[in-house]
Structure 1
Amino acid sequence: METGEEFGPWLARQLKLAGKSQADLAKELNLTRAAVSAWISKRSVPRPTVMEDIARALGTDVGTVHTRTTDTQAGLPISWYHRPGYPDGGRDGGNAAAFAFDADVQVLARETCQNSLDERLADNGRPVRVRYTIHELTGESLDAFRKAILWDDLLPHYSSVSENSGHQKVGRVVDAGVRDMYEKGRLVLLRVDDYNASGLTGDDYDDGRFAAVVRRQLDSLKTGRSAGGSYGLGKATLWATSALGLVLINSTLSAPHEGRTERRVIGRMELPWRQVDGKGYAGPAWLGRPDPDSPGAEIARSWWADEEMVESLHLTRDGDEPGTSFLIVGAHDVASLDDRAPAREPEDLDRADDAGDTRDIERMHQRLVDALGRDFWAAMTGGGARLPLLETSVRTLRNGNVVVPEQQVDPVVEQPSRTRALRAHYEGSTVDRLTEVGQVAARKVPLRLPLSGGVRGTLGIHQAILLVTAQTEDGGGDKNEVHSLRGNRMTVKKSGVPGLPLGTNPFQAVLLVGEAAGESAPFADEAEEFLRAAEPPEHDRWGQTEELTLRWSPSAYRRIALLTTETNNAVKELVARPKSANREGGESLRKALTVNKRTKAKRPSGPVVPELDALQATIGDEGEWQVTAEVKIPRGDEIVTMVPVAQLDVRSGGRPRLAWAELEAVDGCEVEDGALRFTPGARRAMFRGATDVTSHPVRTTLSRLVVELRSGKGE
């Protein structure tokens, strides 16, 4: 018979749960207290016949005493514990971490899938499987669920928050969630299950995955360099997506805790400060079994629930594979309203307001599928010896009945061109140049890694891998974009390629950096560490961050800007159309035209000054101005060297001058010491530049740019 926890620690906890002392148990068993003490201290174990007496004393069956894989049901009941108000009178208007993200199911999908990838059990080679279940409850199903979560005990707290909702942003969201449930008679649950993952291992309070997720804020507990998270903010999206601030959790552990692994359950609620029956409460609350070791046995800890309990909480998992289920109670998707067509006429406003339902379960379903396919297509793609890291699916129910069948997210459907490119790389079938439809071109792009600690110099050069292929006719992702990703294969950065020639065929590109370029790639680990530090909490770009500045230097982000420039240049080389040698069409066209010949202008003998003729400018990911400029060059024997100068436009006074972080020649010129030297005989030239963000006196989005060409040294 399989046994779990050691007898002594198990018995000690059961006595605490039942409110009994060692002396009480010894008296019931007609034994000495020393005998019970020996069991507790693991010096001995009771005889089989005594096991039966212990089971009767604890109100359980003898099998539970023998196996010790669960707690007895005797003792303190499951209840809510609300954190008392601060003794110094301080008040919180909600969990600040939740304000880092919008109530957006697409943001939720990105953060939760990233966390599941980080917790994947890699030893078995299988992907982590993540399933999203949207479940709308009404009628009797809603009543039964509210009873299971002890809603009557929570209602006074929600009522207090609603009464003060005018003073708190979180309070207004909670008030709207409660009103929706009562006025429309519905509640939307959104469950996130992962399988083949670590589960919430560790003690309720000490360092471990459980405490990091359930007890703490800003604790990521991520150790691998390829991990996506680093701020500990991602889990806050679970509570941010709940209009009631309530999430229930059921975890199957990959490593036993207290001798068991299945159905470790707890709930956590995030509310602002409130007052109930004259007593102030700080904010968070937990659903669990009162901890007998806490003062007054008030603090709730996780408990090992039975199958009936997890079913009533809508937390039943498929099988015993390790992983965690998060149930978001009162899920809403405010950001889904942003992409609805706006009302165009005044009479349409009322209809538009009525159509704005943040709990439209079918719309949630589609937005989840879109987000998973857009951000995790690479993690779901395998080929050659590389296996997929992730499988995802979405299903939608109403009162247990299927509304939208389970939909497996297929990267080939969502991102056909990029999936083809990645598979070609894995299978070794890439080419150097694109000559036929369907080919995938590969090119290495250098990332020059800086030395840490502000030391000047380069640690080494990591070779990222760029893949480019033509976009398929069925689309699947924005054209002419580069998706950049690292070890966990989540798309971190999506960026267009500026300055493409007119008539460029639509393409899609992928940049593999760090471990995504191959674990054997030089400096792959160092690239992972560097780029992870360069990601903000949203993990949607690489650039200047506080961690990057502290660990490397204030200018370390320029290495990433240079990687972007090198990538864009490589893309343009790979997609450039070869010039045709056939000039028959041109000759025929010239014969069909009448051209008025004009007297050739006399070539000036003195120096001529080039003029700025065209300018394109965009704002980059780091807030820098990215400029592409065309220069018109007059005829002449001597062309004056010019210096491009970037300035901020102001209403009065001198224009603040911006430094160039990058300045490169494209055509008809060369860059030497910040000046443009033009090719003899050229009539036009082109150059590109990016400003140094550290030289900006104000944010780029609040400024206007002026670019001039100046002769001499540019003064």
Structure 2
Amino acid sequence: MTAKPSTKRKPQWIFDPVPPSGQFTGGIPSAYVFKPELDTFVREVLQNSLDARKAASQTPTEVKFTFRQLQGDDRTRFLNTIDWEYLQTHLQAVAEGHTAMSTLLANTISDLNSTPLTILRIDDSSTEGLTGDEDTPGTNFSSLCRNILDTTKDAPSKGGSYGLGKALLWQFSTLSTVLFSSRLEGEAPQQFRFFARTELPSHETEQARWNGSGWYGLPETVRNGKRAVSIWDEVAEKITRSIYLYRPVQLGTGTSIMVVGFHEPAQEEARPLAAIAQEILHSAAQWFWYCMISATPSLRVVAEVYEGHELSFRGEAIPGKELEPFIQTVLADTTVAKAFHRGEVAEKELTFKIPAKKSGEAPEVEAALNFRLSRGEDDSEDALWGNRIALIRGSGMVVEYRSPGKKLSGIPFCGVLRAGNARGFAEADDALEMFLKDAEPPSHDQWKATERLQEEYRKGSKSRLDKLWKDLDEAVVELCGQEMRPDAEAPEALARLFRKDAIQSGKTLRQDDQKLQVSCLEAFFTEGVWRFSGRVTQPGTLKKPWSFSLLVRLDSETGEGEKLLIDHLRTTGAASVQIKAELAECVVQPSSQEIVFEGETKPVHGNSRMPDLQRTRVRLEVQPGRGGR
């Protein structure tokens, strides 16, 4: 039973004073981990709700996004209920400062009386609710409402594991303020809880200097001063009825979250709320369709928009046409060894050796992954998700739509890789589920050799993940019934990524009256770097060394495109390589007439000038070099 204070003291905002060290906090560091995009926001919200689902629930977790714009008396009543007069003194102090949050807060406060206040309420049901007392770490309450880098998600099949994703709630609030109400699992009768938090940088008011964040609740005196604790039952119900956050008993156990002053940080101009709601539903289907398609789905997502007190939009997340190939791939009753024709689904089991844990608790174990591939119509235009593979583990969210490194000309396909508890619940599946969970960065959008893997497991995580991607690429080729021909001309779709006058397969380049031929070019983006390979051939007989140079550029509609720094270049044959920033030059001894090369660019995630590299292309420029002359 969660402990409840019996006090009837008046709720209030309470901020922590600056610590004795005088440390200044300029903002919310965890907010910079994620792209401030609606797509990311939806992924984090839905993942958190699924992680809080009741273990024995036979009904799907339902998550509802409800938008309202408050004006006039509705806005006044809302602000008065959350003690706006006092909260504003702290927000205004930040607005008058020089932090990244100052300008947004200043504009919001200035416009508050003349523009509607947009609020977003997020309800989930068939979930546990904000269980836990005020102080115990690792509970639903403390992890979401009070602590930083605190998470309840130790179970392998949970989605999150860092406790950072909740930062997006405050990042999408122009007032950096979020309210919470909850009906609690395990309580009889259901207890009702209310709490609020504002995430601010360090600031100074007329009363004192403050460390940053503030909490709204009942005041409680503790050894080091005063703090706010949860408001319960009748008092909580009275407050939430005035701010559109009351949860009727019929809604069942779960959590309701309100983002005050909702906005989209990545958008230059505000969009109609109906358009935002529709994008939320599209994003939910795109990343969580696997949770929606079974006979007993685990997730249902709804969005509503109110204009005044009238419902103006309502929709439900339903996987669209672009996701049908993935869904059909999973639901296919029969499979074949190789998919030669449209609609056929081929299946193969891949294996993955999980390194032993450093603690000695778990030895090395081999786990299986289920890979299915469905074939599209030859030479047809790729669909939105064509020629990609959905990576899924036990949480049910699509971690990534991965493009394979090996390209197939004129053969559209889609694949689904189910790993860990998405495949089964054997001991090896559980072990792989935990490994892949640890392989996800805070954004949970890929499987890579994270620091957590390096801390928990013995050496080999990166090489084994690299092998998994290689095995997956080879499985794509195999299940499509193809054989990779090293000397084949590069596929037309791939050739378009490069300059035809420089690198098209079979194109000749002159060097001292000798011809160089370039072929077998490939490039793909993974783990923050571009990986590329190709072949250069000198068909003549030479008595002295020959050479070629290589540049890698981002594809651009105008101009030459941004040059990428080359990290390394490896070659076969008798050759030496010299790299100067973005230019690599290879000098080949006359005994070698052919060189196969492969290399990587330096990581580019930190370069703010770069576009979203998952959605762009590169071109290679291979030219006769000057070395060896």
TM category (shorter chain) comes to: 0.7 to 0.9
Q: Is the 8 A contact 1:103 1:332 kept in 2?
A: no
Q: CA deviation at 1:487?
A: 0.6
TM-score (norm 2): 0.77
Structure 1 partner of 2:358: 453
**Map 1:76-475 → 2, pairs under 5 A:** 76-164=9-97, 167-183=98-114, 185-207=115-137, 208-256=139-187, 261-291=190-220, 299-304=228-233, 305-318=235-248, 319-337=250-268, 356-357=269-270, 360-383=272-295, 387-405=296-314, 407-411=315-319, 413=321, 415-424=323-332, 428-453=333-358, 459-470=364-375
Over 3 Å counting, the alpha-carbon distance change for 1:296 and 1:546 in structure 2 is: closer
Root-mean-square deviation (CA), in Å? Answer: 3.9
User: Which residue identity does 2:198 align to in structure 1?
Assistant: M
Q: Give the secondary-structure state (helix, strand or coil) at the position aligned to 1:378.
A: helix
Over 3 Å counting, the alpha-carbon distance change for 1:659 and 1:127 in structure 2 is: farther
Q: Give 4+ residue runs of structure 1 displaced > 6 Å after superposition.
A: 472-476, 644-649, 684-688, 696-709
Over 3 Å counting, the alpha-carbon distance change for 1:657 and 1:94 in structure 2 is: closer
> Which of 545, 568, 573 lines up with 1:658 in the alignment?
568
Over 3 Å counting, the alpha-carbon distance change for 1:475 and 1:363 in structure 2 is: farther
Over 3 Å counting, the alpha-carbon distance change for 1:214 and 1:435 in structure 2 is: same
Identity %: 27
C-alpha distance in 2, partners of 1:453/1:502? 44
**Structure that is richer in strand per residue:** 2
Q: Is the 8 A contact 1:156 1:276 kept in 2?
A: yes
C-alpha distance in 1, partners of 2:462/2:401? 17
Q: CA deviation at 1:538?
A: 0.6
**Map 1:671-686 → 2, pairs under 5 A:** none
Structure 2 partner of 1:604: none
Over 3 Å counting, the alpha-carbon distance change for 1:444 and 1:179 in structure 2 is: farther
Q: Give the secondary-structure state (helix, strand or coil) at the position aligned to 2:36.
A: coil
C-alpha distance in 2, partners of 1:565/1:306? 55
User: Which residue identity does 1:396 align to in structure 2?
Assistant: V
Q: CA deviation at 1:471?
A: 5.1
Q: CA deviation at 1:488?
A: 0.9
Q: CA deviation at 1:269?
A: 0.6
Over 3 Å counting, the alpha-carbon distance change for 1:558 and 1:610 in structure 2 is: farther
C-alpha distance in 1, partners of 2:456/2:103? 40
Q: CA deviation at 1:298?
A: 5.1
User: Which residue identity does 1:389 align to in structure 2?
Assistant: S
Over 3 Å counting, the alpha-carbon distance change for 1:396 and 1:700 in structure 2 is: closer
Measured against aligned partners, the alpha-carbon deviations of 1:379-408 in whole angstroms (never above 9, x if no partner) come to: 22215xxx3221111111122321212x11
Over 3 Å counting, the alpha-carbon distance change for 1:302 and 1:542 in structure 2 is: same
Corresponding position: 1:481 with 2:481: no
- What 5-or-longer segments of structure 2 have no aligned partner? 485-513, 542-547, 554-564, 573-592, 611-617, 625-629
Structure 1 partner of 2:584: none
Over 3 Å counting, the alpha-carbon distance change for 1:249 and 1:699 in structure 2 is: closer
Q: CA deviation at 1:686?
A: 11
Q: Give the secondary-structure state (helix, strand or coil) at the position aligned to 1:175.
A: helix
C-alpha distance in 2, partners of 1:501/1:433? 15
C-alpha distance in 2, partners of 1:411/1:656? 40
User: Which residue identity does 1:169 align to in structure 2?
Assistant: A
Over 3 Å counting, the alpha-carbon distance change for 1:496 and 1:296 in structure 2 is: closer
Deviates more, 1:619-628 or 1:236-245: 619-628
User: Which residue identity does 1:512 align to in structure 2?
Assistant: R
Measured against aligned partners, the alpha-carbon deviations of 1:494-528 in whole angstroms (never above 9, x if no partner) come to: 22124423222x222111111111223x6111111
Structure 2 partner of 1:670: none
User: Which residue identity does 2:280 align to in structure 1?
Assistant: L
Measured against aligned partners, the alpha-carbon deviations of 1:164-218 in whole angstroms (never above 9, x if no partner) come to: 2xx10022222233234334x2111112111111111110112322112211100
Q: Is the 8 A contact 2:151 2:162 kept in 1?
A: yes
Q: CA deviation at 1:292?
A: 5.4
Number of equivalenced pairs: 546
Q: Give the secondary-structure state (helix, strand or coil) at the position aligned to 1:174.
A: helix
User: Which residue identity does 1:79 align to in structure 2?
Assistant: Q
Q: Is the 8 A contact 2:568 2:599 kept in 1?
A: no
Over 3 Å counting, the alpha-carbon distance change for 1:216 and 1:568 in structure 2 is: same
Structure 1 partner of 2:445: 540
User: Which residue identity does 1:172 align to in structure 2?
Assistant: T
Q: Give the secondary-structure state (helix, strand or coil) at the position aligned to 2:297.
A: coil
- What 5-or-longer segments of structure 1 have no aligned partner? 18-74, 338-355, 580-608, 637-643, 650-654, 664-683, 710-715
Over 3 Å counting, the alpha-carbon distance change for 1:261 and 1:687 in structure 2 is: farther
Q: CA deviation at 1:430?
A: 2.6
Structure 2 partner of 1:517: 423
C-alpha distance in 2, partners of 1:104/1:410? 21
TM-score (norm 1): 0.68
C-alpha distance in 2, partners of 1:568/1:404? 43
Structure 2 partner of 1:712: none
Q: Give the secondary-structure state (helix, strand or coil) at the position aligned to 1:160.
A: helix
Q: CA deviation at 1:221?
A: 2.0
Q: CA deviation at 1:253?
A: 1.1
Deviates more, 1:85-94 or 1:616-625: 616-625
Structure 2 partner of 1:560: 465
User: Which residue identity does 1:189 align to in structure 2?
Assistant: I
Measured against aligned partners, the alpha-carbon deviations of 1:232-271 in whole angstroms (never above 9, x if no partner) come to: 1011111111111100000111123xx7633200010111
Over 3 Å counting, the alpha-carbon distance change for 1:645 and 1:537 in structure 2 is: farther
**Structure that is richer in helix per residue:** 1
Measured against aligned partners, the alpha-carbon deviations of 1:524-564 in whole angstroms (never above 9, x if no partner) come to: 11111111111111111111211112222464112112111
C-alpha distance in 2, partners of 1:551/1:612? 47
